[in-house]
């Protein structure tokens, strides 16, 4: 039997880790926080795997923990090129956090009342409302990409978005096949992108990539 | 009739404990902090000595200041006195005047007192105070919002705006205490309390250095008015800390009845020792925050309180 409170606790910890990443300017703790966030998602998968006696979740959990917590973390650290204490020059963390709050607060309530409340999503574990956490994580990742200029923070934002999709898949029981496959491919793609991008340069100016 | 007498005794015990014992906790905090830092430190009765000394001294008022400057300390102290009737700061059941306002009303009264303190400080006409007020305002736009959100969140969790119901609800079952929304809101309120009472390692109210935040408001005050304001701030610290202990962090052990009320004073003393120990550990072990980082700290506190609201409303 699935304990909804335990799922709630793990999901909330994932959101707290995302908020920590948003407020943290130093790269090293940010990368570690991303590894912890991915590990928490794998804990979610393991828990459901054992609670529902489904091997799919266990495999998914192992995949996530290996690819995201270890391999991506390794590549991100390699991208840092072992510079100690390196940080992004962020300003106005407080105002960023408040805008972020307003952003996901509104988005979540709109989603809840106009989408989730209307489609009547039902799951085996009765976790339909818990999927709201995955939306919060998604908007959080999106906001991280928008507000940061460094390659590493943007990749972490992308990983957060990926994590949110996985989380949505995990919480929407039974696990959709599409998500299983896409996670595997996405993460493999992520590893390649990460290793290439972080080797290029550490920080980007605004709209640089869009210029011809 | 007997019931009313009991209620009267409980009321007297709660209010007098809040008013008279509040400087003691500040004294114990300073003494313990000095002990951790390897200093002898002032006596734990020093806040009382300071208040008595200031109450005996004459008041010096600048020529530019208006009547607000002179009367606000009394009004602010009166507001804190009123709040000590309203929330469970010693006794776990309603006393006289408790039904006057609810939890949110208590938060608004705290905000009113802060607002009056700011306005009256500016009325002194001093440039330095104006600088201090603008600095304080750049922080408290977060802290007051968090205070109201936290009290709002507590009201949502229990479905009522009465702190006594919250206290009862939390002590009923450990699962109520461990609810995710309650945990988040407790962390948020604890962070707020650290800021509101100057326990953050960002400022040193005792040294009155450049980083001072709250002391800038009292800069032009002297004598009796300063004494009343200082006493008021000790009472505020006691009220907020006791709400934190009784409604959020440690709601158990409180007794009822007139004798129970006396015992509650002692129980609150023990709870406060625990809170002081925690705040001394935080204040002395963390590296000193840069001043503008206080905003970030408060933003996190605000976000946690709003996140708790989301969890309460959407997950239940």
Rounded Cα gap, residues A171 and A30, in angstroms: 25
| Whole-number pLDDT of residue B2 | 53
CB contact under 8 A, B314 and A12: no
Nearest residue of B to residue A107 by CA position?
B310
Distance (Å) from the alpha carbon of A93 to chain B's nearest alpha carbon: 6
> Which is higher by pLDDT, A86 or B151?
B151
Total of domains in chain A: 1
CB contact under 8 A, A97 and B311: no
CB pairs under 8 A between A and B: 49
Closest CA to A130 of A38, A1, A39, A8: A8
pLDDT at B290 over 80: no
CB contact under 8 A, A94 and B142: yes
CB contact under 8 A, B311 and A12: yes
Percent of residues, chain B, with pLDDT higher than 90: 23
Contact, A130 vs A171, CB < 8 A? yes
Mean pLDDT, chain B, rounded, equals 85
Whether the CB of A19 is below 8 Å from some CB of chain B: the reply is yes
Which of B65-69, B94-98, B157-161 shows the highest mean pLDDT? B65-69
Q: Which of B181, B290, B297, B303 to mutate to test the interface with A (most CBs of A within 10 A)?
A: B303
pLDDT at A117 over 70: yes
Whether the CB of B299 is below 8 Å from some CB of chain A: the reply is yes
* B316 neighbourhood in chain A, CB within 8 Å: 129
pLDDT at A40 over 90: yes
Domain boundaries, chain B: 2-315
CB contact under 8 A, B311 and A8: yes
pLDDT at A143 over 50: yes
Rounded Cα gap, residues B111 and B151, in angstroms: 12
Rounded Cα gap, residues B268 and A111, in angstroms: 45
Whether the CB of B142 is below 8 Å from some CB of chain A: the reply is yes
Per-residue pLDDT, averaged over B2-8, amounts to: 74
The 3-state secondary structure of chain B reads: CHHHHHHHHHHHHHHHHHHHHHHHHHHHHHHHHHHHCCCCCCCCCHHHHHHHHHHHCCCCCCCCCCHHHHHHHHHHHHHHHHHHHHCCCCCCCCCCCHHHCCHHHHHHHHHHHHHHHHHHHHCCCCHHHHHHHHHHHHHHHHHHHHHHHHHHHHHHHHCCCCHHHHHHHHHHCHHHHCCHHHHHHHHHHHHHHHHHCCCCCCCCCCCCCCCCCHHHHHCCCCHHHHHHHHHHHHHHHHHHHHHHHHHHHCCCCCCCCHHHHHHHHHHHHHHHHHHHHHHHHHHHHCCCCCCCHHHHHHHHHHHHHHHHHHHHHHHC
| Whole-number pLDDT of residue B48 | 94
Closest CA to B80 of B23, B133, B152: B23
pLDDT at B196 over 80: yes
Percent of residues, chain B, with pLDDT higher than 70: 95
Distance (Å) from the alpha carbon of B315 to chain A's nearest alpha carbon: 6
Per-residue pLDDT, averaged over B55-64, amounts to: 88
Q: How confident is the model at residue B1 (pLDDT cuts 50, 70, 90)?
A: very low
Rounded Cα gap, residues B308 and B144, in angstroms: 17
Could you tell me which residues come within 8 angstroms of residue B103 by beta carbon, excluding any fewer than 6 positions away?
B87, B151, B154, B155, B161, B162, B163, B166
Domain limits for position A87: 4-210
pLDDT digits (tens, 9 = 90+) for B123-132: 888 888 888 8
| Whole-number pLDDT of residue B262 | 83
Whether the CB of B90 is below 8 Å from some CB of chain A: the reply is no
pLDDT at A185 over 90: no
Mean pLDDT, chain A, rounded, equals 79
CB contact under 8 A, B310 and A130: no
pLDDT digits (tens, 9 = 90+) for B206-265: 544 555 667 778 888 888 999 999 999 999 999 989 888 888 888 888 777 778 888 888
Q: Which of A190-194, B27-31, B108-112, B134-138 has the lowest mean pLDDT?
A: A190-194
| Whole-number pLDDT of residue B207 | 47
| Whole-number pLDDT of residue B72 | 92
CB contact under 8 A, A15 and B299: no
* B180 neighbourhood in chain A, CB within 8 Å: 5, 8-9, 12
CB contact under 8 A, B296 and A94: yes
| Whole-number pLDDT of residue B113 | 92
| Whole-number pLDDT of residue A208 | 59
* A95 neighbourhood in chain B, CB within 8 Å: 299
Percent of residues, chain A, with pLDDT higher than 90: 8
pLDDT at A195 over 60: yes
CB contact under 8 A, A15 and B180: no
Which ipTM was obtained for this model? 0.80
Per-residue pLDDT, averaged over B189-202, amounts to: 84
Contact, A148 vs A159, CB < 8 A? no
Q: Which of A22-26, A94-98, A107-111, A130-134 has the lowest mean pLDDT?
A: A94-98
Whether the CB of B173 is below 8 Å from some CB of chain A: the reply is no
Cα torsion B294, A157, A33, A68 to 10°: value is 180
- Indicate the pTM of the whole model: 0.86
């Amino acid at each position: 039997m699935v304990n909804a409170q335990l799922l709630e606790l793990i999901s909330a910890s994932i959101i707290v880790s995302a908020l920590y990443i948003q407020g943290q300017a130093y790269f090293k703790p940010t990368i570690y926080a991303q590894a912890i966030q991915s590990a928490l998602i794998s804990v979610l998968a393991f828990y459901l795997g054992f609670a529902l006696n489904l091997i799919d979740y266990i495999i998914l959990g192992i995949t996530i923990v290996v690819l995201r917590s270890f391999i991506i973390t390794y590549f991100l650290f390699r991208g840092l090129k072992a510079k100690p204490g390196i940080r992004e020059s962020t300003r106005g963390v407080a105002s960023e956090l408040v805008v972020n709050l307003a952003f996901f607060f509104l988005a979540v309530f709109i989603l809840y009342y106009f989408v989730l409340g209307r489609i009547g999503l039902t799951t085996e574990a009765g976790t339909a409302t818990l999927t709201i956490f995955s939306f919060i994580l998604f908007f959080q990742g999106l906001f991280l990409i928008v507000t940061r200029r460094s390659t590493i923070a943007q990749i972490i934002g992308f990983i957060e978005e990926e994590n949110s999709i996985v989380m949505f898949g995990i919480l929407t029981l039974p696990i959709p096949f599409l998500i299983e496959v896409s996670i595997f491919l996405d993460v493999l793609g992520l590893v390649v992108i990460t290793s290439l991008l972080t080797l290029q340069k550490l920080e980007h100016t605004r709209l640089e990539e869009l210029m011809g | 009739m007997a019931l009313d007498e009991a209620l009267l005794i409980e009321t007297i015990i709660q209010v007098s404990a809040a008013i008279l014992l509040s400087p003691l906790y500040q004294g114990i905090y300073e003494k313990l902090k000095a002990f951790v830092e390897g200093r002898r430190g002032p006596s734990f009765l020093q806040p009382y000595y300071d208040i008595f000394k200031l109450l005996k001294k004459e008041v010096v008022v600048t020529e530019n200041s208006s009547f607000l400057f002179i009367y606000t300390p009394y009004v602010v102290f009166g507001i804190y006195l009123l709040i000590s009737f309203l929330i469970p700061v010693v006794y776990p059941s309603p006393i006289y005047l408790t039904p006057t306002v609810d939890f949110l009303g208590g938060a608004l009264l705290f905000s009113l007192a802060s607002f009056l303190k700011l306005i009256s400080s500016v009325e002194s006409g001093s440039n330095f105070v104006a600088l201090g007020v603008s600095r304080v305002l750049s922080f408290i736009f977060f802290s007051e919002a968090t205070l109201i959100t936290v009290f709002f969140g507590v009201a949502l969790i229990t479905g009522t705006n009465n702190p006594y119901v919250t206290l009862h609800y939390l002590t009923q079952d450990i699962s109520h205490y461990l609810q995710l929304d309650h945990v988040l809101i407790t962390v948020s309120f604890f962070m707020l309390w650290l800021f509101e009472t100057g326990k953050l390692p960002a400022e040193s109210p005792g040294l009155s250095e450049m980083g001072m935040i709250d002391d800038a408001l009292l800069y032009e005050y002297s004598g009796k008015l300063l004494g009343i304001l200082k006493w008021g701030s000790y009472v505020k610290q006691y009220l907020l800390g006791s709400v934190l202990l009784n409604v959020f962090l440690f709601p158990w052990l409180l007794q009822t009845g007139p004798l129970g009320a006396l015992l509650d004073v002692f129980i609150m003393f023990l709870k406060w020792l625990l809170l002081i120990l925690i705040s001394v550990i935080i204040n002395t072990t963390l590296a000193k925050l840069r001043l503008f980082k206080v905003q970030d700290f408060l933003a996190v506190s605000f976000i946690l309180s709003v996140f708790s609201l989301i969890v309460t409303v959407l997950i239940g």
